[in-house]
Every structure is written in structure tokens, then in C-alpha cells.
Amino acid sequence: MSAADLAKRLKRAERLTAVQEQMRRAAELQLAQTRREADGVEADRAALLAAVGSSTHGHLFLEAANRRLRGLATRATELEAIAAQQSDAVREQGLARKRAELNAERIEGLLDRERERAEAMERLDTLAQRRDASLP
């Protein structure tokens, strides 16, 4: 494979690495947003429990609070499942980025070796031309 072909492959590999990094960052942002939402649900639940504990409004308030607590518990469970999926996605994106980086490094090594080979061939050609010029 020529140095030009390897240089093109290296640029593509570097672009892929950059894209993988952006995808990993996006997955991390989604996970952070889900965790903030889960924290908000937990804060709502705590506030509602505190209000129920200090309330003297009777049976009607307790029924409404119970319905709201069940809804918050359901949402918290949903968010836990989403966060687990997103955490897996972050890990997978990180692994994909690492694979892309390793591929780019491998191609860069190939390109370096190809350049060294081309330089060595050039030096040999130069030496051969000098010998041919010195012959009678």
C-alpha cells in the first residue's frame, strides 16, 4: 500500500476517532441528564413525604399523596432502567473510541514504516546512481 493511501486511511481513522469521542460525550450528557431527572424525582418524593408527615388535612390529602408517591416511584424505576442503559451506552462508546484510536495508531505505524521504506529506497537509488556515474 502506498504512503498516500495510508495517509488517507489515517485521516479517515482520525475522523472516526473524533466522531466516536463526540458520541461518547453525547452519551455521557444524556446519562447526566437522566441522573439529574432521577435526583429531581427523589427530591419530589422527599418533599411529598415531608409534607405528608407534617399535614393534618386528613384522608383526602393522604390519598392524593399516595397516588403521587406511586407515580414518582414508577418514574424513578423507569429512570433507573434508562440510566442503566445509558451507562452501558457510555461504556460501549468509550470502547468504540478506544478501538478507533488503536486503529489510527496502527495505521500511523504503517505509514511511518512505509515512509521509512520509501526513504531507504531513495537512498539506495542515490547510491546506485553515484556508482553508475563513477563507472568508466
Contact 58, 65 (CB under 8 A): no
- Whether residue 56 has pLDDT greater than 70: no
Handedness of CA 65, 71, 73, 76 (dihedral sign): negative
d(CA 22, CA 93): 9
Q: Which of 51-65, 66-80, 86-100 has the lowest mean pLDDT?
A: 51-65
pLDDT band at 125 (very low <50, low <70, confident <90, very high): confident
Q: Helix 59-134 vs helix 3-54: angle between axes, to the nearest 10 degrees?
A: 170
Q: For the ranges 43-47, 75-79, 130-134, which has the lowest average pLDDT?
A: 130-134
Global pTM reads 0.71
Give the burial string for 91-115 (b: 16+ CB within 10 Å, else e). eebbebbeebbebbeebbebbeebe
Indicate the pLDDT class of residue 60, thresholds 50, 70 and 90.
low
The C-alpha cell that represents 60 in the structure block: 383526602
